[in-house]
Structure 1
Amino acid sequence: MTQSANAPASPDQGDRPNLLDLSFHQLEDFVTRLGEPPFRARQVWQWLWQKGAASPLEMTNLSKEMRARLDESAVIRLPVISKQLQSSDGTIKLLLDLGEGVGIETVLIPEKTHYTQCLSSQAGCAMACTFCRTGQMGLTRNLTHGEILGQILVARTVLASLDTKLSLRNLVFMGMGEPLLNYNNLLQSLESLHHPQGLDFSSRRVTVSTVGIVPGILEFGRAGLGALAVSLHAPDQALREKLMPKAAKALPLDKLLEVLKKIPLKPRENITFEYVLLGGVNDSPQQARDLVRILSHVKGKVNLIAYNASPGLPYDAPSPEAVEAFQKILWDKGITVTLRKSKGRDIFAACGQLLAASADE
């Protein structure tokens, strides 16, 4: 699957490539073109992804001559933090500057034993889901390999500066953008994530969320590079078209469910269905029963998310009673269901809120 035809190209990197944009094999090719043996690529790779080198000149187990050639031939360019906010509940939201006026968000969510990072895959989003602030921005461009994984390097630096014993353990591609519309860079990023001499994340610790893009959803499901989460948000096609017009029309609900049945799953593996509860819109008991019906033939679990109201969007948070009733109906019908607690309300936690608020300043 190739980049979306309507997606603007990434910015010109100039004559010197960003080393963070190279896959391991691309880095091997780059190093050998500099006249070095291929094994040097492994050393450079470790400096980039394990030691967080800001310059080739810091790579002290390389010869001075090689460091100089690398420094002349390439750069290491990370996203720059333009705003950092920390919630009273410990959630950290970063607004990152990619240059040329392009900004993205990433969020660090504290759990009991670790942090989970919410990663962006695009600047903006083309899907225009009506309850999502990012969806109202439109798409600026796809993120590169280095911009996607650079969010992790920036997050690790932030966590290292804090008085915390919690490490970054889980990654979720649930930030700005539709990951499967940046499929080539997503795939390259996932492969790099799992490299044992690099960031070394297990595929069990990585989740990719999509509204349902073909053929990407089937390709990703078969690749085994991470868990799959599907943004559903409605139990019927008509309502899904109102909430997610582009996604629902491109892949109708019945066809989406048929595609998901073709994805091979391990014995204890499930597809996660994300369902944002919008007050008075999709949170009734009947809609809960309808959701049970359509998911009865798919091996999945449901992640309920109480809507985090966003200024300018026409939706309200559901009542606690509606959330409890909806969850109980799913449980009583044998569906595994979790309720994601909303965090970071005091720091524009919902996707796209911080960037939008910053643009309005």
Structure 2
Amino acid sequence: MSEVTTQAKPERRKRQKLEDMEGYKPSIYGLTRDELIDWAMEHGEKKFRATQIWDWLYKKRVQSFEEMTNISKDFITTLKDNFCVNPLKQRIVQESKDGTVKYLFELPDGMLIETVLMRQHYGLSVCVTTQVGCNIGCTFCASGLIKKQRDLTAGEIVAQIMLVQKYFDDRGDGERVSHVVVMGIGEPFDNYDNVLRFLRTINNDNGLAIGARHITVSTSGLAPKIKEFANEGVQVNLAVSLHAPNNDLRSSIMRINRSFPLEKLFEAIGYYIQTTNRRVTFEYIMLNEVNDHPENAQELADLTKKIRKLSYINLIPYNPVSEHDQYSRSTKERVAAFYDVLKKNGVNCVVRQEHGTDIDAACGQLRSNTMKRDRQKAVAEASVNQKVSKMFQLTTWVDKNGELTPKGRKLSQVLVCSYLLCLVLLCWTPQYGLVEGVETPGIQHFGRVVVLLTPFNSLTNFNQLDSLKEIVFVLGQNVANIFLLSPLILGLLALYPRFRSWKKVLVATLAMSLTIEIGQVILDLLIDANRVFEIDDLWTNTLGGLVALGAYRLLVKLIQTYFNE
């Protein structure tokens, strides 16, 4: 029997855990009051020290441990070694005309979440996020466009409330967050323990003291967790994202219904109501010609008939999401007809007031749009970097033989033409008094024409140079003249293989130099341009051409060696 070998699949790169990040410290907001007391006592402090810290955090709402003036420096150091205060960074704030404020926060690992503050007639209500991304898979929701990356810590959830409150504290109007809804990105009951710690922290009478009846937790329908929540003894409100009155329709728009169909969901809701005697709110988003038919309204009324006294239906206008263009908002007429059917059946219901319609209103929309823009920016930057990187790659401009590629030829042609234009401007334009107090020895004047016909004048008349300034000027002129034509010759050598011989370079460079000098004489005759015909320019320019040929041949050898290696 032949052996069958299987090739191991490469492991997917796992995302680094938050606690494994270098320099990461959890937020102190993640501790409940009892946990903070226990932690302080474990570190040698008395109970009252923890209550002082709690007071600084939630009543005075300081942003750093150093602001806690009645805490010893040693214990502040201990706090800083173990915790941070607020782990979030504010990326974007959008404020609507109706007073709704939407925040985009960045987490310690760079991920993004959003939080919304809504102005209601009863106070300021904040909608918090509990997860990065969402795995529930509702086909109409912006939150689910990005799959769940991780759960938020309790401290990161509390921090959202604290930053929103700081936003209003800084305004100095004395406004206070009075209500909280846990309806942001993610499924709260899929992050059950952290959400519960969050609820106990913000509800604590010695802290933010947000009343339990002013807090609502929304779930998409995790039936076992609804039962568990019923036994927690917390008095917060429960909302269920229902969105459809029958299993077929609900399963088509909410994947979770395949795991917990309406029968299991309503069994759990019945247990919750029986255990807590508290009302349940049903969220029902209105999708045009999907779940907004009058018969759907009748089904919904029948579905909730047994718990009608302790249930409430919230009809929600849909905020369109570009990625879910199969859905659109129900018309006002269809919403009104749906509402009328429910009312005729004695259902307690309301059409939710809209907030923030002039900003990224849908849950997860600001985050999704920002991440989309960030991705587009990253792609654009990567494209630019790739182009820049390619620009500096040798193979873009020359081949293995040292010859120019098509791109290299175009670039060389542009450079040669540009340098030729510079030569014209440099050599055939008037010059007046470039360097005061410097006179080149051996110059002769014939009317307007100025010439210097002494061969090797710089050496022959060197003793006539009276100052260091004159020496530097004359020697500098000679060096500049040697390299004046070198770039042009180098470009021509790269472009024209037939030009690559000592004889052709010698003749061509001498001819160019002579043309420049004769042109300067003509310029003097025409406009008194103060140019000088120098015999030494002929040999220095020509020498520069030969230097360029030597440099070109050396460069080609280096390129060939590079490719061979």
TM-score, normalising length: structure 1 = 0.93
Match of 2:424 in 1: none
Please identify, of 42-51 and 203-212, the stretch whose mean Cα deviation from structure 2 is larger: 42-51
In the alignment, residue 231 of structure 1 is paired with which amino acid? S
In the alignment, residue 243 of structure 1 is paired with which amino acid? I
Q: CA deviation at 1:12?
A: 3.6
Distance 2:35 2:202 in 1: 15
Encode CA deviations 1:233-281: one digit per residue, 9 max, x unaligned: 0000000001101x10110111111111111469983100000010010
Distance 1:339 1:224 in 2: 30
Match of 2:282 among 254, 273, 276: 273
Q: CA deviation at 1:24?
A: 2.0
Match of 1:228 in 2: 238
Instruction: Give me the identity figure in percent.
Output: 36
Q: Which has the higher helix share?
A: 2
Match of 1:157 in 2: 166
In the alignment, residue 141 of structure 2 is paired with which amino acid? C
Task: Tell which has more relative contact order, 1 or 2 (C-alpha 8 A, sep 6+).
Answer: 1
Q: CA deviation at 1:166?
A: 4.5
Match of 1:216 in 2: 225
SS in 2 for 1:88: coil
Encode CA deviations 1:15-67: one digit per residue, 9 max, x unaligned: 75431222223212221232111221111111122222222221112233333
Contact 1:9–1:142 (Cα < 8 Å) also in 2: no
Match of 1:309 in 2: 320
Match of 2:89 among 53, 71, 80: 80
Which is greater in Rg? 2
Aligned-pair Cα RMSD in Å: 2.1
Q: CA deviation at 1:220?
A: 1.3
Match of 2:311 in 1: 300
Q: CA deviation at 1:200?
A: 1.1
Q: Does 1:344 align with 2:353?
A: no
In the alignment, residue 307 of structure 1 is paired with which amino acid? Y
Contact 1:170–1:206 (Cα < 8 Å) also in 2: yes
TM-score, normalising length: structure 2 = 0.60
Distance change (3 Å), C-alpha of 1:318 and 1:119: same
Distance change (3 Å), C-alpha of 1:268 and 1:89: farther
Distance 1:256 1:237 in 2: 11
For structure 2, the residue ranges without an aligned partner over 5 or more in a row are 1-13, 374-565
SS in 2 for 1:204: helix
Q: Does 1:285 align with 2:294?
A: yes
Distance 1:261 1:168 in 2: 32
Distance 1:309 1:233 in 2: 15
Match of 2:366 in 1: 354
Contact 2:94–2:102 (Cα < 8 Å) also in 1: yes
Distance change (3 Å), C-alpha of 1:345 and 1:67: same
Q: CA deviation at 1:106?
A: 0.3
Please identify, of 273-282 and 159-168, the stretch whose mean Cα deviation from structure 2 is larger: 159-168
Distance 2:167 2:86 in 1: 17
Distance 1:267 1:140 in 2: 33
SS in 2 for 1:60: coil
Distance change (3 Å), C-alpha of 1:65 and 1:10: closer
Please identify, of 12-21 and 228-237, the stretch whose mean Cα deviation from structure 2 is larger: 12-21
Distance 2:69 2:15 in 1: 39
Q: CA deviation at 1:332?
A: 1.3
Contact 2:145–2:368 (Cα < 8 Å) also in 1: no
Q: Which has the higher strand share?
A: 1
Number of aligned residues? 355
Contact 2:169–2:175 (Cα < 8 Å) also in 1: no
Please identify, of 62-71 and 199-208, the stretch whose mean Cα deviation from structure 2 is larger: 62-71
